[in-house]
């Protein structure tokens, strides 16, 4: 997402194509995009970058939003079967693939029964246009209803050391049903790298400007979590980002975080986190320390937050 959308102006296409291919060389096999990133340009970018690696990598994309008038703001949910079928056809073209490996509903649309959504994806799977069905930011009951119609392969939701809500009922539900979990923003939209302070300024087009956790007051208060990551990083000869990613990987074997970056050195740093192993005592140490830290600020403003956990 961050290569094309959300964090200021889109990055240079050629540089990002080279970076994505470096990721493949480094052993990354799972890539995440969506029609709304841009919109459209991120799917095209991913399709171009991964064209030489067909059959070697997995590409996930998403449906579930409707463009505003004249292609304007994409803030309305839309998951009617005819719409998601049109999105699938368009995504196939932009990605340059014969089948979408993993097709997520980007956000749950309360106007369309989830059984209808799952049934429409089931039809696309039968037709060979989609391989697997996924949900994003869905609640436990929605996951169960969808899974009963078409098995859900993966759920994508925000999860990290400063976003622990999925532990309450989502992780137990996924474990029971055999569904994989794909945490997005595993580095807290950059905050858990330890490279930000309360004085950090974002580009005018950066969506973190509207996020409650990125106010000056919240960033100052949440520095306690960074101090914890830095302390553990010093013990493990690692970076705070690597500690955050390795902690996620240590929670369950079926958790696959998807950190994003536009920089090669960050990509290599993130990949190396997979080699970092915690002892049981170290995991208890992190858990105990984190339990005393209260994170300040909601992760989204109210109008976006209400689209989650449905």
Structure confidence by residue, pLDDT tens digits, 29-39:
999 999 999 99
Lowest model confidence (mean pLDDT) among 72-81, 87-96, 263-272, 296-305: 72-81
Measured CA to CA, the distance from residue 263 to residue 248 in angstroms comes to 22
**In the predicted model, is pLDDT for residue 211 greater than 90?**
yes
Which of 293, 271, 284 is CA-nearest to residue 227?
293
- Higher model confidence: residue 58 or residue 68? 58
Structure tokens at 4: 């094309």
Across 256-268, average pLDDT: 98
Across 66-70, average pLDDT: 80
The pLDDT, as a whole number, for residue 48 is: 98
The pLDDT, as a whole number, for residue 75 is: 84
The pLDDT, as a whole number, for residue 72 is: 67
Across 164-174, average pLDDT: 98
pLDDT tens string 283-292? 999 999 999 9
**In the predicted model, is pLDDT for residue 74 greater than 90?**
no
**In the predicted model, is pLDDT for residue 91 greater than 90?**
yes
Which of 78, 146, 68, 155 is CA-nearest to residue 109?
78
Across 273-279, average pLDDT: 97
Across 53-64, average pLDDT: 97
The pLDDT, as a whole number, for residue 185 is: 98
**In the predicted model, is pLDDT for residue 307 greater than 70?**
yes
| Residue 37 bears catalytic tag | yes
> What does the angle CA 10 – CA 16 – CA 20 come to, to the nearest 5 degrees?
135
The pLDDT, as a whole number, for residue 69 is: 75
**Which entry of 37, 104, 159, 300 is annotated as an active-site residue?**
37
Confidence class of residue 71 from pLDDT cuts 50, 70 and 90? low
**In the predicted model, is pLDDT for residue 70 greater than 80?**
no
Which of 246, 258, 193 is CA-nearest to residue 29?
258
Domains of the chain: 13-305 (3.20.20.100)
pLDDT tens string 223-249? 999 999 999 999 999 999 999 999 999
Lowest model confidence (mean pLDDT) among 64-78, 104-118, 190-204, 281-295: 64-78
Structure tokens at 27: 């052993």
**In the predicted model, is pLDDT for residue 18 greater than 70?**
yes
Share of the chain above pLDDT 90, in %: 97
Which of 125, 235, 141, 251 is CA-nearest to residue 186?
251
The pLDDT, as a whole number, for residue 25 is: 98
Q: What is the largest CA-CA distance in the chain?
A: 56
The pLDDT, as a whole number, for residue 68 is: 78
């Amino acid at each position: 997402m961050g290569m094309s959308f959300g964090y200021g102006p889109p990055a240079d296409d050629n540089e990002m194509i080279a970076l994505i291919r470096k990721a493949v060389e480094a052993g990354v096999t799972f890539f995440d995009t969506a029609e709304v990133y841009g919109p459209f340009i991120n799917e095209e970018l991913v399709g171009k970058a991964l064209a030489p690696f067909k059959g070697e990598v997995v590409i996930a994309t998403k449906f579930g939003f409707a463009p505003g008038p004249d292609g304007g703001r994409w803030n309305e949910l839309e998951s009617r079967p005819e719409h998601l079928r049109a999105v699938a056809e368009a995504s196939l073209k932009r990605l340059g693939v014969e089948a979408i490996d993993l097709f997520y509903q980007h956000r749950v649309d309360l106007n369309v029964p989830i059984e209808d959504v799952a049934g429409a994806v089931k039809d696309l799977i039968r037709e060979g246009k989609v391989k697997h069905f996924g949900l994003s930011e869905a609640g436990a009951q929605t996951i169960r209803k969808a899974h009963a119609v078409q098995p859900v392969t993966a759920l994508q939701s925000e999860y990290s050391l400063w976003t622990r809500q999925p532990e309450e009922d989502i992780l137990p539900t996924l474990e029971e049903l055999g569904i994989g979990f794909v945490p997005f923003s595993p580095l807290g939209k950059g905050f858990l790298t330890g490279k930000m302070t309360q004085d950090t300024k974002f580009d005018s087009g950066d969506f973190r400007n509207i996020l409650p956790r990125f106010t000056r007051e919240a960033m100052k208060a949440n520095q306690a979590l960074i101090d914890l990551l830095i302390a553990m990083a010093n013990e493990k000869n690692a970076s705070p980002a690597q500690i955050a990613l390795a902690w996620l990987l240590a929670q369950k074997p079926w958790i696959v975080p998807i950190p994003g970056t536009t920089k090669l050195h960050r990509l290599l740093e993130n990949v190396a986190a997979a080699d970092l192993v915690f002892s049981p005592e170290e995991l208890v140490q992190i858990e105990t320390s984190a339990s005393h830290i209260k994170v300040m600020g909601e992760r989204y403003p109210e109008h976006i937050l209400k689209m989650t956990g449905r």
